[in-house]
Structure 1
């Protein structure tokens, strides 16, 4: 099975073979390298043909990889081929010059072949552990379009700088229901509008978690399922709106698979970059703003800082809703003018973004529902939530912050609307974002649901909740949510 992911900037293609996470040139280079090693052990009559065929496959593939950019995962493959090549080619060359064929003695050939195979095998293993992410095909009836906007709040000073004239600016990416694009239409890059922006953001994210940037060099190569500036879908009327705030240091695209799934089902998702909090925010003028939110190691001080950062994020969410309301009403012109239903709005977020969503919902009655993706509620839990809420969490273990569950439960029980806490078995903190698509499948890191099931579960549970609360679709919401994990339902009277 092939997944075609066109690269719009230069026409190159990074098609990925499902399961191996290798592009066609990488796969052919792997086959050529293996064939060079195997040739040494074939009967004399077959060796020349196999060696020539291996070279005919390997050399062009290596040239193509050199032209488009070699991923580090392919270096051991090419190294193994380079070591094997003299042993495979020497008998062929000596025969052509009329000299007696030479073969390495078995005591040298066996460990040499084993070493070459070990090197070559490292490549696909590394590609599987750190792949170019393949985004799932959205299951809804709409194709998905995306666009990026930048808005400045003239009423709010930038609290992270000392310049009194600096005003708070946010970058927002919209995913929306679109008309189906022509076959072969270029898909949007994953981490930015351009490959340069994607690499800037990828390097910043890697530095933030202490990883060398080259380990995740496949991430900025990825292409999503959305098309930039695709025409808005003709059908569907006005679309409900879902705002999203990423985790601490996270970026607006970190939940792309989730956003595309929601958009394919008729929602407009608006995800925010929070400057000076997100790992890297590339502004329209080319400036890059990097994160300045750093923990101190002191629990009380960090909680105070986190509460302040959460408040800034909540204000960002309220401002963006105001801008979307103006866009929906025609005060701001754009492709989505008149297509947004800002009378049906959910606010959502992952980790600290989930805390910001809870706080924004308390502050702003314009939000009709709230979804917290494994976010600890920083700051006060009052006033009480008046909107229905869904909190998706990983399993609570002995390693979980002991304050997390009591604080989250308190926030939900104080709500004057029915709220839900869904604990997803096999989930980890990064299950609730795109991490399982491109990080090593280590359960403690990304959970044990797998690269296919992780985005499906999170999006399906979110959709069920949004359909019930924003579209008021009939059905047993608790029953649907229970299919995805252990559900606790908090009715308005339960906490009284």
Structure 2
């Protein structure tokens, strides 16, 4: 199956084979390498022609890959071809020199051929396990635009530094309904405004989970489905808002597929980088702020730290909502002035970001709904939540933190509005962000829903909830959510 994605190096559209996650030059290099090994076993009449064609394809592919960049996944393919090349060319060169041709007997050649094929085969396997992510096409009627803004809160000191004059700064990426861009428009870089920023963030995320950065070198090569600074969709309508906080050490772009799907359905999504918490935050002046949050291994101490970090995030969310209100009223210049419906606002987050969303909603009644994407509720369970809440959770297994569900139940129990807990069968913690698009499909890591189904299910359940709570869409919300997993509904005051 073929899928079209933008090539990050030059912005032109290239094609990949979706099942193997190889670009055409990579696929041709793979075919050339295999043909070079197989040629030895062909009849004499075909052997020389296949060898010459394989060498030509390999040379052309290597030249192209040398220009656009060779991924590490292709190194085994090229190594296997390099081993096979002398044995494939030797008979041809001897014949051209008028010397008698010689080939090793089949029982001597077979182990070498098998070894070369095995080496070559590791290339596509590695490309499948660690691909350049292909973002799903949003299903809504709007095209999607995106922009990045940076705001400083003059009234809030930066708690992670000792400088008394340092003020809290956040970087926010907005995804919004846009006009359709011209054919061939350059799609937004994933993980950053530039490829350098994307590499910085990708390397920081890899280090955070103990992976060498080269393993995920396809991630900063990816392009998304949105266009930077695309014109806002026409008309005078205002768009409901969804503010998003990433997981611990996560970054603003970690839920890009989810954000683009929501924006295509008429929402504006504002996702935050939390400096000193996010793995790496590149500021407008080029400085990079690395994370200073880390687990100590002591459960009680880590819980106390998480409460503090969650409080900072909750304050960030409230500040960004204030800035968006100023943007809508023209106090901050921007293309979204007059198009933001700050009377219909949801706050959402993944993991620790989900905990921050719950705390932000408790603090700030401007938030009208809450979406917790598999987030353990840190911090106090009071005051009561007054907003309808959707908690999407992974499948509960023996490996799940035994405190998680009781703590989430307690948090949702302190609510004067209806809350919904939806458990997605086959989901893992990283199912709720972009991880399934570029990490190996190991069920314990990214779940078993697959690279296509994971972002679809999470976004579809979120949209059903937002449409019901912010847009008051008619229909049975509980019935709609039940289609995606196991649903528990808690009505106001139940069990109190």
Sort the TM-score into its range (normalised by shorter chain): over 0.9
Q: 1:469 aligned to 2:469?
A: yes
Q: Give yes or no for contact 1:170–1:316 (8 Å, CA) kept in 2.
A: yes
Q: Give the Å deviation of 1:13.
A: 5.4
Q: Give yes or no for contact 2:11–2:187 (8 Å, CA) kept in 1.
A: no
Q: Give the Å deviation of 1:5.
A: 2.9
Q: Give yes or no for contact 1:414–1:495 (8 Å, CA) kept in 2.
A: no
Please, which moves more after superposition, 124-133 or 11-20?
11-20
Q: Distance in 1 between matches of 2:260 and 2:468?
A: 19
Q: Give the Å deviation of 1:7.
A: 4.3
Aligned to 1:459: 459
Please, which moves more after superposition, 325-334 or 282-291?
325-334
Unpaired runs of at least 5, structure 1: none
Aligned to 1:325: 325
Aligned to 2:261: 261
Q: Distance in 2 between matches of 1:145 and 1:218?
A: 23
Aligned to 1:392: 392
Please, which moves more after superposition, 422-431 or 231-240?
231-240
Aligned to 1:229: 229
> For residues 303-338 of structure 1, what are the alpha-carbon distances to aligned partners after superposition, in whole Å with 9 as ceiling and x for unaligned?
000000000000000000000001111111111111
Please, which moves more after superposition, 90-99 or 170-179?
90-99
Q: Distance in 1 between matches of 2:268 and 2:328?
A: 11
Q: Give yes or no for contact 1:9–1:194 (8 Å, CA) kept in 2.
A: no
Q: Distance in 1 between matches of 2:14 and 2:181?
A: 19
Unpaired runs of at least 5, structure 2: none
Greater than 4 Å deviation, 4+ residue runs = 11-14
Q: Distance in 1 between matches of 2:320 and 2:167?
A: 14
Q: Distance in 1 between matches of 2:474 and 2:164?
A: 51
TM-score (normalizing by structure 2): 0.99
Q: Give yes or no for contact 1:5–1:223 (8 Å, CA) kept in 2.
A: yes
Please, which moves more after superposition, 232-241 or 137-146?
232-241
Indicate the SS of the match to 2:45.
coil
1:210-249 equivalent positions in 2, closer than 5 A:
210-235=210-235, 237-249=237-249
Aligned to 2:173: 173
1:84-123 equivalent positions in 2, closer than 5 A:
84-123=84-123
Q: Distance in 1 between matches of 2:165 and 2:65?
A: 49
Please, which moves more after superposition, 136-145 or 96-105?
96-105
1:68-467 equivalent positions in 2, closer than 5 A:
68-235=68-235, 237-467=237-467
Please, which moves more after superposition, 351-360 or 389-398?
389-398
RMSD: 1.0
Q: Give yes or no for contact 1:87–1:104 (8 Å, CA) kept in 2.
A: no
Q: Give yes or no for contact 1:5–1:187 (8 Å, CA) kept in 2.
A: no
TM-score (normalizing by structure 1): 0.99
Q: Give yes or no for contact 1:347–1:369 (8 Å, CA) kept in 2.
A: yes
Q: Give yes or no for contact 1:391–1:422 (8 Å, CA) kept in 2.
A: yes
Q: Give the Å deviation of 1:103.
A: 1.1
Q: Distance in 2 between matches of 1:278 and 1:327?
A: 25
Q: Give yes or no for contact 2:349–2:373 (8 Å, CA) kept in 1.
A: yes
Q: Give yes or no for contact 2:79–2:119 (8 Å, CA) kept in 1.
A: yes
Q: Give yes or no for contact 2:9–2:68 (8 Å, CA) kept in 1.
A: no
